[in-house]
Structure formats: structure tokens, C-alpha cells
Amino acid sequence: MCTTHSQLDADYDNYREQLISAGLLVPSGVAGVYGLSGTFEGIIESFESLVTRHGNKLNPEVVRFPPIFNRQTYLATDHIETMPDLLGSVHSFEGSTLEHLDMVHKLKDGEDWTSGLSPTEVMMVPAACYPLYPTAKDTVLPEQGRLVDLRTFVFRHEPSPDPARMQIFRQREFVKLGTPQQALEHRNFWLEKGQEILKSVGLNVIAEVANDPFFGRGGKVMAASQQEQELKFELVIAVASEEKLTAISSSNCHLDHFGSEFNITTQDGNHAHTACIGFGLERIALALLKTHGLDPDNWPQEVREELKL
């Protein structure tokens, strides 16, 4: 079905305003940046607990990174080459008293004061698994590989009226580092498990081959390549729009991209392959609120029981 932009924007505005009116989202004056109510946060906590119950059966290592990470690590990935329009660089002031005064005067005079800032040693995390790989740099993985449970806020500079496209949101991930076969098995296992978990709470997702939003014309080649190799799958469902579905989870094969970048090897001496499943926690809460209504007290009993609400 062909959806016009104005219709899509109307759908976004409509659902966003419903969420704000219900007190679930608290607007901040910036598109895609919201405060979340206790009810909203409670949904996320309940869903995460459900994911933890499933994930713990696999006995993963658990690590929680903050939403900023080493600038050098960031630069060792190719994110700046593939998605420069989404990156977030943290800057601060490191100048003298005179330069400070100059900056404040520029600010008060409505001039560009940000030229007085310098890049700090950190960048915003663009995906939950990025901070993990450097911690495994120059290591040889155990025979069974490593399975790591991660969750962090990630930043993507893409201001949007779509309430499901937040600039900063949480990803819960399970990452496998291992042989090509172990990574592929992980991806395939979680593609099924992800659907099982989401369907158990009434979210009838569809699995689709997908691609990352690579930048520019060159990005189209990368996107086509990613699609042809079926490296990325998304689980999609109607959130703000019935016609343009929203991805609430994705499963990705990175091949040996990070393994070679960070010299992570398997027992046979080859570069490790990596794969991950990510659950977009805010989007899952938004999908639940869309599917079952804005008041979790009135959600179907079986959904409430599964989420232990």
C-alpha cells in the first residue's frame, strides 16, 4: 500500500499526542527525546525481566556499559564511514579564562559559541555491542565462544515526529563471539526466540530481511550487499502506522568485521565471527501500548501474566 508522507506524519502526530496526553511520554522540546512515565518504565522493566528469564537459560556473561565510550574505540569501527549522520560526539570546554569569557560573550551575542569546545575522549554509543569488542581485543575465544548479555542507551541523531524513532533509547542485546557456525547458529536461534518472546506478549511480529541506514549513495551499495547476504533481519509490527511497520528487534550477522578489527580469534587461529540480537526496549513498550491499549491495567490477562505485571 502506498502511504503518503502527510498521512504518515498524521499517524505519527496522532500516536505521539495520545502518548503525551496519557502521560506516558513527557516531551522535552526536541523531536525524539522524551521523559518516560513510571508506567512506561514499568513495561520496559517487565519485558526485560521476561527476556532475562529466557536468556539466563543460556548462562550468558552479563555486562552493562554506559552510553558513552572511548573515542578511539569508536574510530576503530567504521561507523563514521558508514553512518556519519547518526553519530554523537561529546564535546566540552577545555580553554583558558579568556577563552571562556569569549565563549560566553559569543553565546550572549547570539554567535556560534560551540567553536570554543573541544572533542572529549568519548563518543555516544551507537549500538549496544560496540563497547564490548575492544574488551576482547587480541584474545583467543574459548572453544564454545562467548555469549554476552548487554543493555545500554544508544544514541542516533535522527530527530523525527515518529514517537518510535527516539534519538536515545535502550537496546537489550545478546552477542555471540565465536566461529562462523556459532555466530550463525546464535543469529538463527535468536531470530526464532525473539519471535517466540514477542508473540508470547501478543506482538504478532513479522520477520523481514533488512539493512542498516547506511549514509548517502554509497550506502545504497552497502545496503544492497547486506540485503543480498541476508545479514540483517528485523521483527516488525504496526506501532504508530499500520502501513509503515516498525522494527522492534533485529538480528545481525557481522561476519568477521569486528573479529578482524579487534583481532579476536577462535581456537583455529581465524578471526572470530560475531552476531547479535537486539531488542529495542522503548519501541517494544510502544508496540505493547499500541496493540493492547494505553492502560496496562486493561491489557489481556495472559499478557499481564507473561509480563508479571
Partner 1 sequence: MSKELIREILAKHGRLSASIETLNDNSDLYEAGLTSLATVGLMLALEEGFDLEFPDSLLSRKTFSSIEAIEDAIDEIQN
Name the residues that contact partner 1, by CB under 8 A. 78, 81-82, 217-222, 224-226, 228-229
The nearest distance, CB 74 to partner 1, in angstroms, is: 16
Sheet holding 146-155, edge to edge: 61-63, 146-155, 168-178, 273-280, 246-255, 232-237, 206-209
The nearest distance, CB 192 to partner 1, in angstroms, is: 27
The nearest distance, CB 262 to partner 1, in angstroms, is: 16
User: What is the torsional sign of CA 42, 44, 47, 51?
Assistant: negative
Phi, psi values for residue 153, rounded to 5°: -75, 140
Q: Looking at residue 37, what DSSP letter applies?
A: -
The nearest distance, CB 86 to partner 1, in angstroms, is: 16
What is d(CA 54, CA 303) in angstroms, rounded to the nearest whole number? Answer: 16
Residue 218 or residue 293: which is nearer to partner 1 going by CB? 218
The nearest distance, CB 224 to partner 1, in angstroms, is: 4
The nearest distance, CB 220 to partner 1, in angstroms, is: 4
The nearest distance, CB 226 to partner 1, in angstroms, is: 7
Residue 82 or residue 120: which is nearer to partner 1 going by CB? 82
Structure-derived torsion over alpha carbons of residues 276, 197, 67, 33, reported in degrees to the nearest 10 = 130
Residue 66 or residue 218: which is nearer to partner 1 going by CB? 218
Residue 165 or residue 187: which is nearer to partner 1 going by CB? 187
The amino acid at residue 266 is T
User: What is the torsional sign of CA 37, 40, 43, 48?
Assistant: negative
Radius of gyration of the chain (CA): 21
Contacts of 93 (CB under 8 A, 6+ apart): 100, 103, 116, 117, 118
Give one DSSP letter per residue of 97-113, joined into a string.
HHHHHHHHHHHHTTS-G
Residue 5 or residue 217: which is nearer to partner 1 going by CB? 217
- For residues 3-32, one letter each, b for 16 or more C-beta atoms within 10 angstroms of the residue's C-beta and e for the rest, the string is eeeeebeebbeebbebbeeeebbeeeeebb
Residue 212 or residue 306: which is nearer to partner 1 going by CB? 212
User: Between 38-55 and 180-200, two packed helices, what is the crossing angle to 10 degrees?
Assistant: 130
Residue 78 or residue 94: which is nearer to partner 1 going by CB? 78
Residue listed under C-alpha cell 505493547: 288
The nearest distance, CB 225 to partner 1, in angstroms, is: 4
Residue 124 or residue 222: which is nearer to partner 1 going by CB? 222
What is d(CA 273, CA 250) in angstroms, rounded to the nearest whole number? Answer: 17
